[in-house]
Amino acid sequence: MSEIDYMNECTARDLIVMLSEEYQIAPSEAMDILYNSETYAKLKDPKTGLYFQSPAYIYGYLDKEIKQGSLATE
């Protein structure tokens, strides 16, 4: 496992916990939401550099995506 992959997995773990607590959902449901999100796709793309950010920062994007249905601003 590369260092970036490890960082992504640690961040994903933290995001799942944050989602579970914030939305009062099971961790399995939080995993489904995260792994199917645009935010996670951007996190997995090393070109974005998102993996360098804190889980709280990334959660802001994820929460926005959940509430708006997309990361795109319209």
Measured CA to CA in angstroms, residue 70 lies from 7, 50, 73 at distances of: 24, 17, 8
Q: Is residue 74's pLDDT more than 50?
A: no
Q: Which two tokens stand for residue 28?
A: 């399995």
Dihedral, CA of residue 8, residue 10, residue 16 and residue 22, to nearest 10: -110
Cut 0.85: pTM above it: yes
The better pLDDT of the pair 28, 72 is held by 28
Condensed to tens digits (0 to 9), the pLDDT of residues 10-69 reads: 999 999 999 999 999 999 999 999 999 999 999 999 999 999 999 999 999 999 999 998
Confidence of residue 1 (pLDDT cuts 50, 70, 90): confident
